[in-house]
Amino acid sequence: MILVPMRTTKQGTTLNAGKLKDAYKETTSTAEIKQEDMDRLGLKKGDRVRLRVGTHAVVVSCIPRKIKVTDNSSGLIFMPYGPTTSALMVDGDTAGTGMPASKHLVVEIEGPLAPEEDDG
């Protein structure tokens, strides 16, 4: 699937409270996935999934996207920018611009994970 890091209001309010606090960590480690994709992958709201790029992986929880206007965003994962999405930006190449490819990261998704599975 394609991971698209993004900004959200909750990310903005929680970073004001502090980036070391649980609320910020939680919102920047929650993936929003279209309900149809979650059904296809056998995922339920709150399930933990592993996102992997090459040899690097993170474990996040997932929730269905809440949208009013229907779109065709199948195959896309949205997650607020933060340490978790940075951990999946494994390529520092900026194509001579200074800007690494921060959106449209191709990730493998694995889940739902059992509670005892670690974050590696």
Partner 1 sequence: MDKNTATEKNTTIIKNATCTFCGCVCDDMELTVDLDEKCIIKSKNACVLGKAWFSEHSVDESRPVALIDGKEASLEDAIEEAAQILVNARFPIIYGLSDTTSEAQRQAVAMADYLSANIDSTSSVCHGPTGMGLQGVGEPTTTLGEVKNRADMVVYWGCNPTDCHPRLSTHFTVMPKGMYIPNGRKDRTVINVDIRSTSTTNIADLFVQLKPGSDYELLSALRSISRGRRLNPSIEEQTGVPMATIEDVAHRLMSCNYGILFFGMGLTMTRGRHYNTGALHLLAADLNEHTHFVVKPARGHGNVTGADTVMSWQTGYPFGVNFNRGYPRHEPGEFTTTDILVRGEADAACIIASDPIANFARPAIEHLKKIPVISFDPKPTPTSQIARVALTTACYGINVPGTVYRMDDIPIPLRPAFESPFPSDLDILKPLTERIRELKAH
Q: Which residues of the shown chain bind partner 1 in the complex (CB under 8 A)?
A: 2, 4, 6-9, 12-14, 16-20, 56, 67-73, 76, 78, 81-83, 86-104
Encoded tokens for 106: 């191709």
Cα→Cα distances 19→9, 26, 34, 46, 107, Å = 15, 10, 27, 22, 25
Please, which residues bridge with residue 51 across strands?
58, 109
Provide the minimum distance between the beta carbon of 116 and partner 1 in the complex, in angstroms, as a whole number.
26
Provide the minimum distance between the beta carbon of 118 and partner 1 in the complex, in angstroms, as a whole number.
19
Provide the minimum distance between the beta carbon of 20 and partner 1 in the complex, in angstroms, as a whole number.
6
* Residue among 24 and 112 whose Cβ is closer to partner 1: 24
* Residue among 13 and 26 whose Cβ is closer to partner 1: 13
Sign of CA dihedral 84, 4, 80, 47: negative
In contact, 117 and 60? CB cutoff 8 Å: no
* Residue among 34 and 48 whose Cβ is closer to partner 1: 34
Provide the minimum distance between the beta carbon of 93 and partner 1 in the complex, in angstroms, as a whole number.
8
